[in-house]
Amino acid sequence: MNAGEIKVLMISLDETLLGGRAGGDAYERHVGFSKEIGATDIVVLGKKRSDSLEKGNLTVKGTGEKNLIKRFYAGYRIAEALARKNDYSLVTTQDPFLTGLVGYMVSKKFNIPLNIQLHADFLDNSYWIKENRINILLNIFAKYIIKKAGTARVVSSRMLDKLVSIGFNKDNVFFIPTGCGIPVENFSSGDKQRARDELGLPRDKKIVLFVGRLVRQKSLYDFIDTADALLKRRKDALFLIVGNGPERAGLKDYAAGLDLGTRLRFIDEVAYGAAAKYYRAADVFLLTSKYEGTARVLEEAAASSLPIITTAVSGAEDVVRDGHNGYIIPMGNKGAMADKLEALLENPQDMERMGRAGRLVAEKYYDRKKNIGKLIDMWVVASKKQ
């Protein structure tokens, strides 16, 4: 079977596929992927939207059920109806949890090969498991579902090693970056001062940037503590947190309690295309997460020629070569983060050298144009694995 004959049924949680929002380019990406194969039908187990969208050979249908159980049954009914009508080559799921269960049931009923995708490093991850007691059971369930799949996709080398350690055949695991990478051409160092002028940011500050969702896994209290430590040493730094999420109010209160004032700014979530300007305006990118798959913001920062300081999350070792284009710091070591930040800000030549090195990493490994082919190849191989 060649790529043009492949028909994929995808089970997803991503409601941006039903019309998009400020923070992503998921719909456009999937339209692009679908042009390379016969057809893609996506069932979104969403809370809010039950829309249907069609473009080219991509069809997206949403459940629009707030209740988890109703969402599951609605998603399964839609997927089952589609599988009765279409001769799918493959069922692929966004995770080994709710979407994995729906995908497994459809796969088993209609004898369609199953591919499980893992976009975050939660498997046997102590930080994730401690977030909620139910994650202990979800960890066990995930391993069960994963082993029912013929193939799996991961977004970091660490996750690949984990799957092999639980008995998954390495030949059936595909390492493809999150979102198939990024449109590298959309990110560049560009004119820093012009970007700052357009964003209303000061020209005379050293800007440390975070972009992403304001959720617990990002450990942004550590980001703020690191900012506080550095700002006690030097007055020319400015920290930016760009994004939105459930932690926003608490984070703002915490920063206010440290009396950081305008030296740490919260910027509302921006459209995906507009985020590149914030990278262009910054000097260093700082990620303090407790767990990730591969944080796409690391790829974007590298493509923007920014030196990166990141915790030792999954995927960090794939994007950042320690001492080459940034530094990888043990989880929660805020003192080391502040020390490395200070060392970088005091050495513009090191920042420039690391930024150039990061850009080369992004061009070589994370350019979406190069990675789409890997995704299509995975679907062709996965369609032959039961």
Is 353 within 8 Å of 360 (Cβ atoms)? no
Host domain of residue 194: 184-365
Please determine, for residue 386, whether its predicted confidence score (pLDDT) is greater than 80: no
DSSP string, 50-63: --EEEETTEEEEE-
Q: Per-residue pLDDT tens for 229-246?
A: 999 999 999 999 999 999
pLDDT at site 170: 95
pLDDT digits (tens, 9 = 90+) for 120-135: 999 999 999 999 999 9
pLDDT of residue 24: 60
Distance CA 272, CA 243 (A): 11
175: part of which helix (H) or strand (E)? strand 173-175
17-31, 98-112, 193-207, 342-356: which range is least confident on average?
17-31
Is the separation of the CB atoms in 49 and 82 below 8 Å?
no
pLDDT at 23: 45
Q: Is the pLDDT of residue 4 over 90?
A: no
d(CA 65, CA 73): 10
Do 151 and 279 lie in one domain? The reply is no
Q: Based on the domain organization, do 82 and 230 belong to the same domain?
A: no
Structure confidence at residue 333 (pLDDT):
94
Residue linked to tokens 């550095």: 230
Q: What does the mean pLDDT of the chain come to?
A: 93
Q: Are residues 163 and 206 part of one domain?
A: no
Q: Which two tokens stand for residue 272?
A: 């995906």
Residue 351 shares a structural domain with residue 371: no
- Output the CA–CA distances (angstroms, integers) from residue 31 to 7, 228, 288, in the order listed: 14, 43, 33
Residues 195, 97 share a domain: no
pLDDT of residue 22: 43
Q: What is the mean pLDDT of residues 323-338?
A: 95
The amino acid that residue 153 corresponds to is R
CB 290 within 8 A of CB 312: no
**For the segment 56-84, what is each residue's pLDDT rounded down to a tens digit?**
899 999 999 999 999 999 999 999 999 99
Same domain, 299 and 159: no
State whether 111 and 234 are in the same domain: no
Let me know whether 231 and 336 are in one domain. yes
* Same domain assignment for residues 105 and 223: no
Residue 111 pLDDT more than 70?
yes
The DSSP annotation for 74-121 comes to HHHHHHHHHHHHS--SEEEESSSSHHHHHHHHHHHHHT--EEEEE-S-
pLDDT score, position 289 = 97
CA distance 130 to 127: 5
Give yes or no for residue 25 having a pLDDT over 90. no
Count helices and strands (H / E) in the chain: 15, 14
Q: Is the same domain home to 297 and 342?
A: yes
- CA 195 to CA 159: how far, in whole Å? 36
Structural domain tally of the chain? Answer: 2
Give the mean model confidence (pLDDT) for residues 7-24. 79
**pLDDT above 70: percentage of residues in the chain:** 98
Do 111 and 209 share a domain, yes or no?
no
Same domain, 199 and 338: yes
Residue 40 to residue 55: CA distance in whole angstroms: 10
Task: Find all residues with CB under 8 Å of 369, minimum gap 6, and list them.
Answer: none
Q: Tell me, what CATH number does 324's domain have? A: 3.40.50.2000
Alpha-carbon torsion 373, 374, 375, 378, what sign? positive
Q: How many Cα atoms occupy the beta-carbon half-sphere of 14 within 13 Å?
A: 23
